[in-house]
Amino acid sequence: MPFKLKDEEIADILSGDTSDIEEFYEDDINLDNLDEFANGNKTIITEPNWIFEQWREPETDWQGKLPDPPDNGKCIAVSVSEMEQFLGINMYMGIVTMPHYRMFWQNNSRYPLIADNMSRNRFDNLRYYFHINDNAKMLPRTHADHDKLFKVRPFITAVKNNMRKINFEEFSSVDEIIIPFKGRTFMKQYNKNKPHKWGIKMFAIASASGLVHDFEIYTGKGTLQQAEQGLGISGDVVLRLVDGIPKNQNYKVAMDNWFNSYHLQCRLKFSGVLGIGTVRSNRLAKCKMNSDTIMKKQGRGVFDSKVDTVNNIVV
């Protein structure tokens, strides 16, 4: 079962000390074995920062080229531990929000969990010089292979590669995720029907337990340029995300009517994955179903169905 961390436990994580927390959660789990957690054999994580430890790759050289520091004689050198604290602070700022990030250090709004682990000036320096990719290698926007996420691509790739290590469960679901955001970015989307109307759109696949196994960030036209399957963005993204599901082993994936279509179900069935979900009437490949008017006259509980005997698909 998931548990909620106390403020002092979060402070220990940010400072790098988890010894007291490890003693509290006595269940002995082999953290080197991701399959134990994915298959449901273990329900409690001994270390609260276990998930973060899986997503980072401390030995990976991302070839991040920092811009030349100013001629002030100061060194910007950082350690792995300090970068973990820097990333942890940024993530925690996304949970405890303030109008401006510097307010976490101001006297009248000081937040000890952050301010006690890193000074504001040090945080500003790391924030200013923090780069993940070499900007000199970024292709111009007019280039056919221009990557809109080039500056953070190594980080996204590292996170996705580690997510894919977790075994899929029998039941999974594909859906979109809106990351609330109103700042300046070309990826910002507006949808009046969503609880968070402004944000960055993602497509993700998650198992029934809630663990995300893979995702794609929507960047507009050409999001899946390298993985187009001819089904449009809604169908192509499903085929891309289910790529890691074991084939022909009775695994099921669910989706809503924005993704689903008859042709998508055929492709899933052919690839060895079982699909289920609602579907729009204009995506049934001209399969004629009883109209709503006819079904309403027949009373509550009535339904209509059709079977594709060639592909074994039920509508």
Phi/psi at 293 (5° precision): -60, -45
The one-letter amino acid at 170: E
Instruction: Return the top range by mean pLDDT from 69-83, 131-145, 221-235.
Output: 131-145
Same domain, 177 and 268: yes
Residue 163 CA, chain-centre distance (Å), reads: 9
Q: State the total domains in the chain.
A: 2
CATH no. for residue 216? 3.30.420
Percent of the chain with pLDDT over 90: 24
Residue 95 domain flag: yes
- pLDDT at res. 155: 86
Q: What is the pLDDT of residues 247-297, one digit of tens each?
A: 999 999 999 999 999 899 999 998 999 999 998 888 888 888 888 888 888
Q: Which one of 72, 101, 129 terminates a domain?
A: 129
Same domain, 109 and 217: no
For residue 22, give its domain range: 7-129
Residue 225 domain flag: yes
- Distinct helix (H) and strand (E) counts, the chain: 11, 8
Mean pLDDT (whole number) for 160-164:
87
Same domain, 109 and 183: no
- How sure is the predictor about 148, in pLDDT bands with cuts at 50, 70 and 90? confident
State the Cα–Cα distance between residues 229 and 223, nearest whole angstrom: 13
- pLDDT at res. 49: 59
Query: Which stretch of DSSP H or E encloses residue 118?
Result: none
Residue 297 domain flag: no
Same domain, 98 and 178: no
Same domain, 181 and 251: yes
Mean pLDDT (whole number) for 160-189:
88
State the Cα–Cα distance between residues 169 and 115, nearest whole angstrom: 40
β-strands 307-308, 313-314 pairing:
antiparallel
Closest to 266 in 3D by CA, of 314, 228, 205, 226:
314
By the 10 Å C-beta count (0-12 exposed, 13-18 middle, 19+ buried), 213 is classed as: buried
- pLDDT at res. 27: 43
Same domain, 103 and 174: no
Q: Give the list of residues 6+ apart from residue 107 with CB closer than 8 angstroms, or none.
A: none
- How sure is the predictor about 219, in pLDDT bands with cuts at 50, 70 and 90? confident
Mean pLDDT (whole number) for 22-43:
43
- How sure is the predictor about 95, in pLDDT bands with cuts at 50, 70 and 90? confident
The terminus-to-terminus CA distance of the chain in angstroms comes to: 37
Instruction: Return the top range by mean pLDDT from 10-24, 91-105, 180-194.
Output: 91-105
Residue 229 domain flag: yes
Q: SS3 for 8?
A: helix
Q: What are the tokens at 191?
A: 């949808």
Residue 27 domain flag: yes
